[in-house]
Amino acid sequence: MHVAVLGAGVTGVTTAYYLAEFGHTVTVIERASAVATETSFANGAQLSYSYTDSLANPAFIPKIPSLLLGLDPAIRIRIMRNFSMFPWGLRFLAQCTRAKAGENTIAVLKIALRSAELLEQLHQKLSLQFSYAAAGKLVLLASPRDVEAAKLQSALKRQLGCETHVLNPDEAIVKEPALAFMRQDFAGAVYAEHDHVGDAHAFTRGLSDWLQSNRSVEFDFDRDISGLNVNEGRFLGVQTGTGTIHADAAVVCLGPWSQQLLTPHGINPMLYPVRGYSVTLPPGPHAPTVSITSLRHRIVYSHFDDKVRIAGFADFVGFNTSRDAERISLMCEIAKQAAPEAADYDAKSIRPWGGFRPVTPSGQPNVGPSGIDGLFVNTGHGSLGWTVACATAESAAQAVTNSE
C-alpha cells in the first residue's frame, strides 16, 4: 500500500519506520523544511518508561482554585478567549477519579514498557546516534502524602514488571550525589533504574535519514496540509497548498494540530495544546547524571552528552506564544534556585525553546482507525510522546496493515 504519514515529528517518523517494516511505501508530508521542528525538537529528553502517572487524578481537584488564581508559577491557565478549553476541561475533570487515574496510568505504562523494548531493538539494529543512555530517573516527591501514594503506585507497577523503588531523601542522595547540592525540599523520591535519556530530535533526524537511504520512504517537506479528501466515508487524498497527494491510506501524526484537520470530518480526538518550555545549558559543577523530575516545581533536569536540558511548565493558553520569553525566564529562575549547581545558568546561549504537548483528557494517546476507511490517527501523546513513540507507531502501522 502507499501510505501518507501526516507530520514529521517523532510520532510521524517512527510511524513511517514501522509502516516501511511492514512492507508499505510511505510519503511523509510536513509543512516545515526538516523533521522534528515542533514539539519533538527540544523536549525533556526523558524516556520516562516508569513514570506514566496520570495528570488527571483526585489530588488535582483541590488545586484548581489556586491554579485559576495563578498561584502556581509552573501552570498558567488563560480562560478568557480560550473556549476550546471548556469541553476539554470538563472531560479532564471526569478523569480525576481514583479508578480512572489508575486505569489511565496502567494503560500508558503498558504502552511505555512495550516502547522501551522496541526502542532497544531499533537501537541495536540501526545504531543511530541520539545520546541514548540508561541514566535512570528520580522523581522527587513533595510531601509525606505523596510518598505514601507513590508506594501504592510502585506496588501496582511492579505487578506489570516495572521496577521502581520509593526512597527516603538520604537514599536518593546515595543514588544521585548531586541532589546534595540541590535546594530541593523533597520528602522522598521514586527511583527507576531502567529509565533512559535520549535526544528526541537527533533520534528523529537519524531515523529519517536512515529511512530515506534504506527504505521506500519519501519526505515531502514545505507542504502545508489544508484538508483531507474524503468521499462516502473513504479517504482519498491529502490536500496541500500545492496540490492533492493521493494515497491508499493516511496516518494523521500532526500533534495538537491534528484536531483542526479531523474535526471537519466528524472526528474529535479531544486534544489540547499544553505549552511547555526548555533551555539547554552546559553542565554546572554538580550536574546530576540521573534524570531528575521535581514534582513541586514541575521541572525536569536531564543530562546527556555535554548538555543539561531543563524543561517543564504547563500553560493552558491555546496556541498563544506571546509570553514565551517571560515564562522561560521564570522557569530558569526557579530551576536555578532549586538546583544552582546543576547547570551553567550564565552561559551565553541558553537555547530557549517552547513546544505544544498534544494532551488528551485521559492522558492516553489516540492510536488506530479513525472511523473513516483508510484514515488512521496516531496522536495525543501528551508529556510522553518520545517515551511511547515506538509502541504507538507499531500499533498504528499494524492497524493500517490489518485493514488491507
Ligand X SMILES: Cc1cc2nc3c(=O)[nH]c(=O)nc-3n(C[C@H](O)[C@H](O)[C@H](O)COP(=O)(O)OP(=O)(O)OC[C@H]3O[C@@H](n4cnc5c(N)ncnc54)[C@H](O)[C@@H]3O)c2cc1C
Beta carbon nearer to ligand X, 38 or 146: 38
- What percent helix, strand, coil does the chain show, rounded to 5? 35, 25, 35
Q: Which of 272, 301, 250 is nearest to 381 (CA)?
A: 272
Of the ranges 36-44, 102-110, 171-179, 263-271, which one interacts with ligand X (CB under 6 A)?
Answer: 36-44
The four Cα atoms 324, 326, 329, 331 give a dihedral, to 10 degrees, of: -70
Site pattern 316..355 for ligand X (x: CB under 6 A)? ---------------------------------------x
Question: CA-CA distance, 239 to 162, in Å (whole number)?
Answer: 43
**Looking at 18, 130, 257, 316, which residue binds ligand X (CB under 6 A)?**
257
Element (H, E) at 211: helix 200-214
Of the ranges 1-9, 90-98, 243-251, 394-402, which one interacts with ligand X (CB under 6 A)?
Answer: 1-9
**Looking at 74, 95, 357, 400, which residue binds ligand X (CB under 6 A)?**
357
> Scanning residues 192 to 231, which ones bind ligand X (CB under 6 A)?
224-225
Interface with ligand X, residue 4, by CB under 6 A: no
Interface with ligand X, residue 288, by CB under 6 A: no
Interface with ligand X, residue 383, by CB under 6 A: yes
> Scanning residues 116 to 155, which ones bind ligand X (CB under 6 A)?
none
**Looking at 37, 82, 212, 239, which residue binds ligand X (CB under 6 A)?**
37
Question: CA-CA distance, 19 to 13, in Å (whole number)?
Answer: 10
Of the ranges 50-58, 126-134, 265-273, 381-389, which one interacts with ligand X (CB under 6 A)?
Answer: 381-389
Helix axis angle, 200-214 relative to 98-126, nearest 10°? 50
Amino acid sitting at position 353: W
Interface with ligand X, residue 157, by CB under 6 A: no
DSSP secondary structure string for all residues of 278-306: EEEE-B-TT--SSEEEETTTTEEEEEETT
Amino acid sitting at position 245: I
**Looking at 27, 43, 52, 360, which residue binds ligand X (CB under 6 A)?**
43
**Looking at 100, 157, 298, 381, which residue binds ligand X (CB under 6 A)?**
381
Interface with ligand X, residue 184, by CB under 6 A: no
Beta carbon nearer to ligand X, 77 or 187: 77
Is 98 buried (19+), middle (13-18) or exposed (0-12) by CB count in 10 A? exposed
Question: CA-CA distance, 251 to 369, in Å (whole number)?
Answer: 9
Q: List residues binding ligand X (CB under 6 A).
A: 7-12, 29-32, 36-40, 43-46, 48, 224-225, 253-255, 257, 276-278, 311, 355, 357-358, 379, 381-387
